Chains A and B, each alone.
Chain A
Amino acid sequence: MKVELQNVTRIFPSRNKREKNDVVAVNNFTFEIPDGKLIGLLGPSGCGKSTTLYMISGLQRPTSGRIFFGEDDVTDLAPENRGVGLVFQNYALYPHMTVKQNILFPLQNLKGEDKMTKEDMLERAYNVARLVQIDELMERKPSELSGGQQQRVAIARALVKMPRVLLLDEPLSNLDARLRLQTREEIRRIQRETQITTVFVTHDQEEAMSISDTIVVMKLGVIQQIGKPQDVYDNPTNLFVAKFLGTPPINIFKGYVRNEMLYIGDDPIMSVPGIQLPEKKVKVEQQDNQENISTEHNTANGQAVDSQTAEYKTVEDGVKGHPVYIGIRPEGFIVDEQNGPLHCHLNNVEVMGRDMTVVSSNSDSESGIIRSIINSDSGLDRQAETVRYSLKPHKVFIFDLDTEERILFEVK
């Protein structure tokens, strides 16, 4: 069953009638979930993920916009008539019922021609229980189960009535790291086996990336980007998305572009042919070209750190070039002690088998710390004061300083 959201908006009016600070929990969402796919809703806390899910389930009504299941407009349909299965963040298993009673509960609600005989219900319940591997636990109460088992019961309860759409609200957030990994594989397996269109809400980017066919990245009720996990990771549309995806997170620098060359501090780190800088800033850059060149001479002669920070200011003022944010993925660094254009102070090295994490610092880095993932046999001198990097162009993203939108260039 295909699910489609068209311009869906949800506004929570403020309690205080005089002040007009309504919360726009979900702002003009439009996206389509193809039949049988698993889509991940991803975003930080409070960005409207649960609200979106509740609107799809029918527990909440959109303020405006329409929701379709297949060709049917379900916007005005009550939850029980939508045929959705919902797994709550804390499972909401009925504590006074056994696992079996919990799973049977939705079936016993069916009426009219859907009504089932006791034997059919039991058979269906046991089939679903087997699917999520809890058929051994049918007589237990939820309090006698582990978190992971409870979660599977919750999924079984949502699946047993064969919903058209399965909705999962941060189902793994209560589990420990190992169980989370295991259960997420299981959800993937169950989804593949049942081919039920599934929406999976999480604030954990790794979880979303590993399990989803498509991810929807959200921020403050606004969709930032929709795409295949790998595509979104490789091609973030803005700084927020770039920062949100990836562990360790992307390294952000303040830098500038001049003459199709990208600079961090005074290091010309990479050429960016065909970069499409916004118009206004380009003019500023051309005006001040002369002065910039003269300052550059100074540093080329090996100036102290002092003058570097002084020049940093001029970069912000748009004097040295067009100021930008530069995002470099941890795997985008190559150690190059001879020719690497980016100079960083080497802090320490964490070896993790095949790869190692090199922690270095640079005054133009936003967090001050740079984490790069380098192949262990890269010939890094761990005793050295500085480390020199060259960069993989497709792992480097440039963003506008004001709009934080991506600025594209040609990657060869």
Chain B
Amino acid sequence: MYDTKRQWKAWLYLLPMLVLLAVFTIWPIINTVRMSMLEKYQALAAAGGKTFEVSFYNFKDVLSYNKFLTCLKNTMILCVVTVPVSSILALLIAVFLNSIRPLKRVLQTIFFLPYVTNSIAIGMVFAAMFNIVGSFHGTPNQIIETAGIINNMLGVFGIEPINWINPGSTYGANITVLVIYIVWNALPFKILILLGGLQGINKQYYDAAKVDGTPRKRIFTRITVPLLSPMIAYVVITGFIGGFKEYTSIVGIFGEDMGPAGASKRLNTMVGFIYDALENGRQGRASAAALILFAIILVVTLINLYVSKKRVHY
């Protein structure tokens, strides 16, 4: 055992950090729980002396709220589609980058670029690329001019311009653009992590496999993937956590309306819902939504950890 004197010293050194933690992490969490349990809690009214009943009203309210269910659905779709797609793509690209010699550095830099650029700015660039200018609902004789490079490129292959994000666009088209954007934005970090993992694998495993005449596909599935599994698990778990917090990408492409004109909030997410509630002074609702989001992330992460415990070789 350490003597009390030394323990005191240790606590003293920890104090600044503990104070910061208490003020900026622990108290907000407690306060969130408190606010979520107070019926129709509003901070302004509370400041004015109003008291609130303790109940689960906020949770029931949020869960039966159509707008919230839309947000939940959007978030779920984006997570379930983008995380596997971006993880698999990142894995393939990392393996490819790791296996080439010439242009390796250049390609690594190119793949890393999205990571160091502002995501709102990139979102606006994406919006421009998928944009349509001119009348879309013209008669067949009218020429449709598109300013978006994507539609121009599709035109080369004889594909009719698609209304991706403009007024009148479909939900499916919107989600497609979002998925492409989020996957592309998530790639650099994942590639970086997986490439680091790949470079840490002893080359002799591959030599051994080669001497034993292992086909390339089998080397990938039986050697590369298992030896990389800790990194893959990390990338997937952080991917899901990031996915549930998705917000900026939608703002970047669709603006703060979270949807094309005439269908605003159609693409809103859970985080967006919380922001909206706060903006309207509904702290009780926002807190309840935040706790629900927390619970979902917790459950998904636990499932991830449970699966990886069985599959991941450390």
Chain B residue contacts of A57, Cβ below 8 A? 211
- Is the beta-carbon distance between A80 and B213 smaller than 8 angstroms? yes
Chain A residue contacts of B229, Cβ below 8 A? 96
Expressed in whole angstroms, the Cα–Cα distance for A161 and B213 within the complex equals 11
Which of A79, A85, A95, A109 sits near B215, CB closer than 8 Å?
A: A109
Interface string of A109-122 (1 = CB under 8 A from B): 11000000000000
Which of A59, A81, A90, A95 sits near B213, CB closer than 8 Å?
A: A81
- Is the beta-carbon distance between B226 and A96 smaller than 8 angstroms? yes
B-contacting residues, A85-119, CB 8 Å:
85-86, 88, 90, 92, 94-96, 105-106, 109-110
Say yes or no for A84: interface residue by CB 8 A criterion: yes
- Is the beta-carbon distance between B207 and A96 smaller than 8 angstroms? no
- Is the beta-carbon distance between B227 and A96 smaller than 8 angstroms? yes
Say yes or no for B309: interface residue by CB 8 A criterion: no
- Is the beta-carbon distance between A59 and B205 smaller than 8 angstroms? no
Expressed in whole angstroms, the Cα–Cα distance for A337 and B255 within the complex equals 105
Say yes or no for B139: interface residue by CB 8 A criterion: no
**How large, as a class, is the contact surface on chain B?**
10 to 19
- Is the beta-carbon distance between B212 and A80 smaller than 8 angstroms? yes
Chain B: CB-nearest residue to A84 = B211
Interface string of A142-165 (1 = CB under 8 A from B): 000000000000000100010000
Chain B residue contacts of A81, Cβ below 8 A? 213
Chain B residue contacts of A92, Cβ below 8 A? 202, 204-205, 207-208
Q: Say what secondary structure dominates the interface of chain B.
A: helix
A85 with B223: in contact, given A92-B204, A95-B313 (CB under 8 Å)? no
A106 with B212: in contact, given A88-B207, A94-B223, A96-B226 (CB under 8 Å)? yes
A-contacting residues, B203-252, CB 8 Å:
204-205, 207-208, 210-215, 218, 222-223, 226-227, 229
Nearest-CB distance from B296 to chain A (Å)? Answer: 32
| Chain A CB within 10 A, most for which of B211, B214, B222, B313 | B211
Chain A residue contacts of B227, Cβ below 8 A? 95-96
Expressed in whole angstroms, the Cα–Cα distance for A96 and B224 within the complex equals 11
**How large, as a class, is the contact surface on chain A?**
20 to 34
- Is the beta-carbon distance between B211 and A59 smaller than 8 angstroms? yes
B-contacting residues, A183-234, CB 8 Å:
none
Chain B: CB-nearest residue to A58 = B211
- Is the beta-carbon distance between A90 and B204 smaller than 8 angstroms? yes
Chain B residue contacts of A85, Cβ below 8 A? 211
Nearest-CB distance from A91 to chain B (Å)? Answer: 9
Expressed in whole angstroms, the Cα–Cα distance for A164 and B222 within the complex equals 26
Nearest-CB distance from B215 to chain A (Å)? Answer: 7
- Is the beta-carbon distance between A80 and B211 smaller than 8 angstroms? yes
Nearest-CB distance from A342 to chain B (Å)? Answer: 51
| Chain B CB within 10 A, most for which of A84, A95, A110, A157 | A95
- Is the beta-carbon distance between B211 and A109 smaller than 8 angstroms? no
- Is the beta-carbon distance between B210 and A59 smaller than 8 angstroms? yes
- Is the beta-carbon distance between A80 and B208 smaller than 8 angstroms? no
- Is the beta-carbon distance between B208 and A79 smaller than 8 angstroms? no
Chain A residue contacts of B215, Cβ below 8 A? 109
Chain A residue contacts of B205, Cβ below 8 A? 92, 94
- Is the beta-carbon distance between B213 and A86 smaller than 8 angstroms? no
Chain A residue contacts of B211, Cβ below 8 A? 57-59, 79-80, 84-86
Interface string of B55-89 (1 = CB under 8 A from A): 00000000000000000000000000000000000
Chain A: CB-nearest residue to B312 = A96
| Chain B CB within 10 A, most for which of A57, A85, A92 | A92
Which of B208, B212, B214 sits near A88, CB closer than 8 Å?
A: B208
- Is the beta-carbon distance between A86 and B313 smaller than 8 angstroms? no
Nearest-CB distance from A76 to chain B (Å)? Answer: 16
- Is the beta-carbon distance between B313 and A96 smaller than 8 angstroms? yes
Expressed in whole angstroms, the Cα–Cα distance for A106 and B223 within the complex equals 13
Expressed in whole angstroms, the Cα–Cα distance for A84 and B313 within the complex equals 29
B-contacting residues, A57-88, CB 8 Å:
57-59, 79-81, 84-86, 88
Expressed in whole angstroms, the Cα–Cα distance for A215 and B108 within the complex equals 48
Nearest-CB distance from B181 to chain A (Å)? Answer: 35
Chain A: CB-nearest residue to B218 = A109
Chain B residue contacts of A110, Cβ below 8 A? 213
Chain A residue contacts of B210, Cβ below 8 A? 59, 79-80
Expressed in whole angstroms, the Cα–Cα distance for A96 and B226 within the complex equals 7
| Chain A CB within 10 A, most for which of B207, B212, B215, B227 | B212
Expressed in whole angstroms, the Cα–Cα distance for A86 and B208 within the complex equals 7
Nearest-CB distance from B228 to chain A (Å)? Answer: 10
Chain A residue contacts of B223, Cβ below 8 A? 94
Chain A: CB-nearest residue to B215 = A109
Chain B: CB-nearest residue to A92 = B204
Chain B residue contacts of A106, Cβ below 8 A? 212-213
Expressed in whole angstroms, the Cα–Cα distance for A110 and B226 within the complex equals 21
Expressed in whole angstroms, the Cα–Cα distance for A92 and B212 within the complex equals 13
Chain B residue contacts of A86, Cβ below 8 A? 207-208, 211
Chain B residue contacts of A90, Cβ below 8 A? 202, 204
Chain B residue contacts of A105, Cβ below 8 A? 212, 214, 222
Expressed in whole angstroms, the Cα–Cα distance for A118 and B205 within the complex equals 24
Chain A: CB-nearest residue to B227 = A96
Chain B: CB-nearest residue to A101 = B222
Expressed in whole angstroms, the Cα–Cα distance for A92 and B203 within the complex equals 9
Expressed in whole angstroms, the Cα–Cα distance for A90 and B207 within the complex equals 12
- Is the beta-carbon distance between B212 and A59 smaller than 8 angstroms? no
Chain B residue contacts of A95, Cβ below 8 A? 227, 313
**Can you list 19 A-B contacts with CB-CB less than 8 angstroms, sorted by A residue number?**
A57-B211, A59-B207, A59-B211, A79-B210, A79-B211, A79-B213, A80-B210, A80-B214, A84-B211, A86-B211, A88-B208, A90-B204, A92-B202, A94-B205, A94-B226, A105-B214, A109-B215, A109-B218, A161-B212
Q: Top 8 nearest A-B pairs by Cβ distance?
A: A80-B213, A96-B313, A92-B204, A106-B212, A96-B226, A92-B208, A86-B211, A79-B211
* Residue positions of B touching A, CB distance < 8 A: 202, 204-205, 207-208, 210-215, 218, 222-223, 226-227, 229, 313
Q: For the A-B complex with A80-B211, A96-B226 known, give 14 more contacts whose Cβ atoms are closer than 8 Å.
A: A59-B211, A79-B210, A79-B213, A80-B210, A86-B207, A92-B207, A92-B208, A94-B222, A94-B226, A105-B212, A105-B214, A109-B212, A109-B213, A157-B212
